[in-house]
């Protein structure tokens, strides 16, 4: 279990739940809801390595859906970001798991 992780952008430290809340409030741009060619996606960007991941929200989902479920969509994106962040930059760090 990871008990503590640090935000690479500004040094905020907290448990994984607090880190997600931190990403959401301090770095809202890390999860963006974008449309392209009539499709809607959420795009997650890692603050540590800049890697981004884009996922279609739902087949046939339009602007109304993206707007109505904005918070839920962001929550899913933040979850994916956290998984990547902890896996690659906390567990994968030089010191390994605490």
Q: Give the residue ranges of DSSP H helices in the chain.
A: 16-26, 63-68, 70-84
Distance CA 14, CA 25 (A): 14
Task: Write down the least CB distance from residue 19 to Zn ion, Å.
Answer: 8
| 2 is a site residue for Zn ion (CB under 5 A) | no
As measured in angstroms, the least distance from the Cβ of 57 to Zn ion is 22
Q: Which stretch binds Zn ion (CB under 5 A): 13-21, 33-41, 42-50, 64-72?
A: 42-50
Interface region with Zn ion, contact rule CB under 5 A, candidates 35-43, 56-64, 66-74, 85-93: 85-93
26 binds Zn ion, rule: CB under 5 A: yes
Residues sharing a CB contact under 8 Å with residue 41, sequence separation 6 or more, in sequence order: 33, 34, 35, 54, 55, 56, 57
∠ Cα 34 40 44 (to 5°) = 50
Binding positions for Zn ion, rule: CB under 5 A: 7, 9-10, 12, 26, 46, 48-49, 51, 88
């Amino acid at each position: 279990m990871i008990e503590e992780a640090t935000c690479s952008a500004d040094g905020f430290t907290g448990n994984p739940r607090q880190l997600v809340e931190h990403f959401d409030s301090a770095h809202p741009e890390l999860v963006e809801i974008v449309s392209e060619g009539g499709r809607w996606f959420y795009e997650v960007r890692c603050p540590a390595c800049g890697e981004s991941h884009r996922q279609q929200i739902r087949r046939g989902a339009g602007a109304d859906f993206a707007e109505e479920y904005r918070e839920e969509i962001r929550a899913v994106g933040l979850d994916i970001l956290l998984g990547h962040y902890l896996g690659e930059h906390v567990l994968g760090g030089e010191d390994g798991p605490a």
